[in-house]
């Protein structure tokens, strides 16, 4: 009787590594966090019959745009004035999840936008040191990690554009969803040599802009800085997109439908890859390499961007162990 009952139970996993698990033979379904994760999973020998795209569920009510008063108080705390255009990056202090390209792009923006400012929250010491060496370091504010959802909502509301680059990409990108729930649009760099779900979470032209090269990242960032109406439109559309698509209740419904064998359970989250990857601006060779799963080795050359490998970042971190951290602002009250 026990065996009969167990045979009626669906055994599933949420796979964040995009590769077959040792216990895959016992699974009914392997939930992949995005269409890109599913592609990686299948390219690494995963079972197509078991692969389903089911993203992280998000408690969308935990993040919302803060009041104008909270926004202004936070910007005052960071010494940002009303006319400043504030770019921001929030994350955990893990080197591979950040990139020097964030500061490099900001430096270029400052050459054309004197009122540009940069807020780095939770940056690792290597990125903080790069910021300290920037010729525009006085226009950069660094903060420790913020964990509280209410405080994070104030942080996201206090910035104008979320500037996102991760050396190893995102298997999902929770900070992107959090930023959009606070109506703050995102500019992100596609990373076809690694995890690359950020474009699916942001959706090019919906919650922000997805760039495929460092030059496009700069141009997208500048365009958003100069167009306040575009920022508002993308911020509002992005918040609606996250609430509709990734709400924990909707994801739970998809899981139940999938386990019951209903097609709508997984069709809701299965769609083509999005962002500039589908546009003419994407190098044709890059598209070909992505489709042939050779991207890890080659696409950094076709995109014009060479990511800093984790091993190199580790050496940088060791070299900076004795370096004092660039001035860190306190959390917002």
How much is the pLDDT for 194? 83
Q: Are 211 and 159 contacting, i.e. CB atoms less than 8 angstroms apart?
A: no
Q: Identify each DSSP E strand in the chain by its residue range.
A: 12-15, 29-32, 51-53, 85-90, 116-121, 140-143, 161-164, 186-189, 208-211, 328-329
Q: Looking at residues 128-136, what average pLDDT do you find?
A: 96
- Residue 161 pLDDT grade (very low, low, confident, very high; cuts 50, 70, 90): very high
Least confident of 136-140, 221-225, 289-293: 289-293
Average pLDDT for residues 122-129, to the nearest whole number? 95
The CATH 3.40.50.2000 portion of the chain extends over 60-243
Computed over every residue of the chain, the mean pLDDT equals 83
Which has more confidence, 105 or 256?
105
Give the phi and the psi of residue 52 in degrees, each rounded to 5. Answer: -135, 140
Mean pLDDT of 243-249: 93
- Residue 328 has φ and ψ, to the nearest 5°, of -110, 125
What separation in angstroms does the CA of 6 have from each of 3, 25, 31, 33, 222?
5, 15, 20, 26, 56
Nearest CA among 323, 310, 307, 331 for reference residue 133: 323
Give the residue, 82 or 311, on which the prediction is more confident.
82
Q: What is the pLDDT of residue 259?
A: 78
State the number of CA atoms in the 13 A half-sphere of 177 facing the CB.
25
Greater model confidence, 288 or 175: 175
Residue 162: predicted pLDDT: 98
Asked if the model's pLDDT at residue 7 lies above 80, the reply is: no
pTM: 0.82
Average pLDDT, integer, range 131-144 = 96
Domain 60-243 has CATH 3.20.20.60: no
**159 in the Ramachandran plot: left (φ > 0), alpha (ψ -120 to 50) or beta?**
beta
Q: Would you place residue 212 in the very low, low, confident or very high pLDDT band (cuts 50, 70, 90)?
A: confident
Residue 199 has, within 13 A of its CA and on its CB side, a CA count of: 24
Given phi > 0 = left and psi -120 to 50 = alpha, else beta, which region is 45?
A: left
* CA 258 to centroid of chain Cα atoms: 26
Is it the case that residue 330 has pLDDT exceeding 90? no
Q: What is the pLDDT of residue 262?
A: 55
The answer to whether 72 and 50 are in contact (CB under 8 A) is no
- What pLDDT sits at residue 284? 52
Token pair for residue 173? 């990108």
Per-residue pLDDT, 329: 35
Q: What pLDDT is attached to residue 302?
A: 47
Q: Is the pLDDT of residue 46 over 90?
A: yes
282-324 per-position pLDDT tens digit: 445 445 544 544 444 444 554 556 655 545 444 444 444 433 3
Enter the DSSP assignment of 204.
Answer: B
Report DSSP state, residue 72: H
DSSP 8-state symbol, 49: T
């Amino acid at each position: 009787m026990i065996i009969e009952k167990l045979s009626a139970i669906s055994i599933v996993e949420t796979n964040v590594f995009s590769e077959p698990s040792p216990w895959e033979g016992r699974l009914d379904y392997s939930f992949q966090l995005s269409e890109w994760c599913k592609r990686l999973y299948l390219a690494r020998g995963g079972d197509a019959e078991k692969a389903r795209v089911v993203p992280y569920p998000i408690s969308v009510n935990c993040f919302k745009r803060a009041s104008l008063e909270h926004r202004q108080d936070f910007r005052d705390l960071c010494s940002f004035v009303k006319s400043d255009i504030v770019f921001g990056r929030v994350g955990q202090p893990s080197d591979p999840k950040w990139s020097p390209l964030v500061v490099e792009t900001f430096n270029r923006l400052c050459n054309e936008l004197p009122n540009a400012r940069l807020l780095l929250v939770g940056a690792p010491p290597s990125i903080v040191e790069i910021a300290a060496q920037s010729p525009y370091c006085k226009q950069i504010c660094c903060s420790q990690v913020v964990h509280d959802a209410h405080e994070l909502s104030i942080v996201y509301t206090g910035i104008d554009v979320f500037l996102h680059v991760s050396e190893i990409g995102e298997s999902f990108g929770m900070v992107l969803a959090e930023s959009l729930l606070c109506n703050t649009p995102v500019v992100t760099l596609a990373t076809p040599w690694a995890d690359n779900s950020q474009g699916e979470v942001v959706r090019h032209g919906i919650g922000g802009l997805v760039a495929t090269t460092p030059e496009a990242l700069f141009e997208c960032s500048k365009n958003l800085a100069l167009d306040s109406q575009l920022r508002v439109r993308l911020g509002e559309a992005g918040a609606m997109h996250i609430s509709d698509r990734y709400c924990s209740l909707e994801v739970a419904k998809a899981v139940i439908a999938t386990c019951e064998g209903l097609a709508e359970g997984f069709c809701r989250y299965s769609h083509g890859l999005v962002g500039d990857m589908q546009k003419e601006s994407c190098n044709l060779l890059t598209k070909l390499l992505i489709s042939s799963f050779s991207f890890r080795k080659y696409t950094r050359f076709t995109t014009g961007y060479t990511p800093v490998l984790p091993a190199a970042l580790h050496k940088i971190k060791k070299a900076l162990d004795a370096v004092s951290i660039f001035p860190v602002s306190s959390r917002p009250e």
